[in-house]
């Protein structure tokens, strides 16, 4: 099993794409070309990250260096990751980033809630390595999900113990003009799902309330019969409890 540091290293490279700012209803507000490079320095203990955004002819750089990882960032063995607040607190801005990776393409989503605990905005980041030949997936539609899916969920708890791996079964059915996920648990908070370009979707609460558990999830339809989802979960005490990576194939 790879260490968290070794999992981070699965993201090395120069990732080219864009940062797309979306309203809370999915409206595109701004699309900024970007280039994010991660390189391991000669000491083999430091990762240097440069995030370059192109505003016209004037690129702006954000430079970060990592020598260790803290609890706010968690990686899976393939490089997929999430980082964000460990605790939700009222009257403060709250957010998290979810990132999926598939070969020479990456997808990231930043979800932000305002100081009133209302869903405020998204930043949707689609990236590829320079010589990628993998095309962008078509926008996700409900019809793409209908059917039975089977796979596994890898769950890392907040105490970073050995990941738990369990089989999963998800079944989506059409009921009139609605699509139902038969395996989804009831949630006391109102949630919304937005369908995005590149086969993606995001599901999250419209608003967060104290003493109410909730989750944030990013989904990616990699192939017509292959679906991946990352789920970041908070408990009734508003603390981050686990991160799950679910990979399923369509079986019927």
Task: Identify the helix (H) or strand (E) that includes residue 146.
Answer: none
- Residue recorded with tokens 């699965």: 10
What does the pLDDT look like over 122-133, one tens digit per residue?
999 999 999 999
Q: What is the pLDDT of residues 41-69, one digit of tens each?
A: 999 899 999 999 998 878 999 999 999 99
| CB atoms near residue 242 (< 10 Å) | 18
Q: Is the full-model pTM beyond 0.95?
A: no
- pLDDT tens, residue by residue, 129-178: 999 999 999 999 988 999 999 999 999 999 877 899 999 999 988 765 55
Please enumerate in sequence order all residues whose Cβ is within 8 A of that of 146, keeping only pairs 6 or more positions apart, or say none: 172, 173, 174, 179
Give residue-wise pLDDT tens across range 209-245: 999 999 999 999 999 999 999 999 999 999 999 999 9
Q: Which fold has domain 4-250?
A: Lipocalin (2.40.128)
Domain boundaries, the chain: 4-250
């Amino acid at each position: 099993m790879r260490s968290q540091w070794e999992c981070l290293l699965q993201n090395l490279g120069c990732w080219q794409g864009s940062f797309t700012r979306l309203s809370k209803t999915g409206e595109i507000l701004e699309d900024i070309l970007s280039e994010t490079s991660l390189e391991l320095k000669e000491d083999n203990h430091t990762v240097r990250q440069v995030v370059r955004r192109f505003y016209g002819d004037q690129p702006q750089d954000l430079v970060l260096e990592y020598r260790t990882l803290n609890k706010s960032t968690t990686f899976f063995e393939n490089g997929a990751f999430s980082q964000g607040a460990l605790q939700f607190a009222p009257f403060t801005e709250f957010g998290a980033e979810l990132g999926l990776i598939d070969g020479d393409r990456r997808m990231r989503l930043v979800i932000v809630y305002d100081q009133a605990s209302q869903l405020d905005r998204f930043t949707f980041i689609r990236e590829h390595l320079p010589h990628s030949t993998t095309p962008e997936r078509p926008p996700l539609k409900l019809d793409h999900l209908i059917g039975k899916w089977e796979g596994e969920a890898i769950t890392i708890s907040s105490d970073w113990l050995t990941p738990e791996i369990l089989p999963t079964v998800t079944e989506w059915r059409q009921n009139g003009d609605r699509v139902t996920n038969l395996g989804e648990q009831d949630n006391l908070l109102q949630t919304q799902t937005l369908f995005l370009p590149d086969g993606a979707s995001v599901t999250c609460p419209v608003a967060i309330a104290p003493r109410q558990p909730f989750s944030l999830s990013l989904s990616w339809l990699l192939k017509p019969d292959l679906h991946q989802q990352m789920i970041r979960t908070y408990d009734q005490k508003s603390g981050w409890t686990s991160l799950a990576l679910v990979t399923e194939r369509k079986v019927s």
